[in-house]
Structure 1
Amino acid sequence: MLTLHNLADRRCALLVIDMQYDFMPGGALAVKEGDALVPLINRLGRRFTRVILTQDWHPAGHISFAPSHPGHEPFQRITLPYGPQTLWPVHCVQGSQGAQLHADLDLPHAQLIARKGCNPDIDSYSAFMEADRSTPTGLTGYLREHGIDTLYVVGLALDFCVAWSAQDACKAGFTTYVVEDACRAIDLDGSLAGAWQAMLGLGVQRVQSQDLLGG
């Protein structure tokens, strides 16, 4: 049976993943209907005392960008020293408009913006661990020091940064929920189904916004 928590409890936090312009319709790596999430995430955010945002924040020429690998195209997969890597269009370059959080995101009480993907030589889908699977971002320590033990994850994209973050949160011992309708997916070659299988297999719980908001 699904057990939900008092969202205003300081042990709970809403983790909002990568609500940035490059992931919105018209952006460099657009996720269909990504902008439609903003009002819902704002509503959810008002229920939480603790809110944390993440921001993809790549240096120019990042290793995950297809143009960094001549002869390769976006969405091809290659093997890098740390393992398999999907190559992406240039996106969320530090300081660019595309890297900015959506202006209509209304979460003024957010306590932290965690930037990821800053290492030019390693990608980082997860808010907790870079793609080499050994370099922590520091978010785990932040959450533990602030007494947070339960996370509700929303944002973009469900089958990549949301899924990786949720799995790592679960592995780190946090009770983890993904609010399905407060996320959107890229769904690249079956990636969405694979992401759900991996998340549920680790104990991530799948909920809907109405479970939290009522109605």
Structure 2
Amino acid sequence: MNLRPTDALLVIDVQNDFCPAANGIGGALAVPEGDQVVPIINKLAQRLEHVILTQDWHPPQHISFATTHHLQPYESIEAPYGPQTLWPEHCLQHTEGAALHAALEIPHAELILRKGFRRHIDSYSAFLENDHTTPTGLAGYLRERGLKRLFLCGLAYDFCVRYSAIDGHNLGFETIVLEDATRAVNLPGSVDETNAALAQHEVRRWKAADLWAKKSDPSFGAG
């Protein structure tokens, strides 16, 4: 299968707070080795014309913060829309922690989609908030642009990448996760559950090198 002009790279939440702290910036909810995806994503972005970034963008006292409920991180509550894992405060609006990682080099990115900005509902997926009903608007954007196949990368594999890939598939897009361009939070069982969920929804898992080979195909862009 050749790369096509209707392909896009969807870069999920490569933000300072999801990466190990550097120079005192970020790390509030660091994904192990999260910063190691950045050079891979930069290389991927050079090979795709269309690139879309997402950005967690939480207000203070967000429903997903453990401090909002006077509980400990990684405990769970029953939100109106279902179970909600509680996290350390992260990606607060207008903070350095919420900023995209400084080493990302994607000047041709066409859209930065912010999610999780509603105080009373979390948003893992780039397509739907955690009630699985409220849209972010990304599906409509992609359809109007004629973009049909999405290669997903970023943070974290077992949460925002997972739900974005599955929701994208359910909304009619072909979604492929580039495993080595992601990293996982790796809560107990979360990676195994993600692998099973992606398989159930027929979301394929490729390596970034699969795109290098396909980009070099002389028929790239033929349709």
Partner of 2:208: 209
Correspondence for 1:12 among 7, 21, 29 = 7
Partner of 2:33: 33
Q: Where does 1:183-194 land on structure 2 (aligned, <5 Å)? A: 183-194=182-193
Structure 1: 5+ residue runs without aligned partners?
Answer: none
Q: Find the residue that maps to 1:110 and give its secondary structure.
A: coil
Partner of 2:220: none
1:102, CA displacement in angstroms?
A: 0.6
- The 8 Å contact of residues 116 and 127 in structure 1, kept in 2 or not, is answered as yes
Q: Where does 1:7-156 land on structure 2 (aligned, <5 Å)? A: 9-26=4-21, 27-70=27-70, 72-156=71-155
Report how many residues are paired: 209
- Corresponding letter in the other structure for 1:60: P
Deviations 1:126-152 (A, max 9, x none): 000000111000000000000001000
- Corresponding letter in the other structure for 1:116: K
- Corresponding letter in the other structure for 1:110: A
1:189, CA displacement in angstroms?
A: 1.0
- With the length of structure 2 as denominator, give the TM-score of the two structures: 0.92
Deviations 1:32-62 (A, max 9, x none): 1111111110000000010000000000110
Distance across 2 between alignment mates of 1:73 and 1:36: 28
Higher RCO structure (Cα 8 Å, ≥6 apart): 2
1:170, CA displacement in angstroms?
A: 0.4
- Corresponding letter in the other structure for 1:64: S
Q: Find the residue that maps to 1:152 and give its secondary structure.
A: strand
- The 8 Å contact of residues 18 and 55 in structure 1, kept in 2 or not, is answered as yes
1:78, CA displacement in angstroms?
A: 1.2
Q: Find the residue that maps to 2:10 and give its secondary structure.
A: strand
1:10, CA displacement in angstroms?
A: 2.8
Distance across 2 between alignment mates of 1:142 and 1:129: 13
- With the length of structure 1 as denominator, give the TM-score of the two structures: 0.95
- The 8 Å contact of residues 10 and 147 in structure 1, kept in 2 or not, is answered as no
1:203, CA displacement in angstroms?
A: 1.2
- The 8 Å contact of residues 154 and 182 in structure 1, kept in 2 or not, is answered as yes
Point out 4+ residue stretches in structure 1 off by more than 4 angstroms: none
1:196, CA displacement in angstroms?
A: 1.3
Distance across 2 between alignment mates of 1:166 and 1:132: 16
Q: Find the residue that maps to 1:137 and give its secondary structure.
A: coil
- Corresponding letter in the other structure for 1:16: V
Distance across 1 between alignment mates of 2:33 and 2:69: 30
1:213, CA displacement in angstroms?
A: 1.2
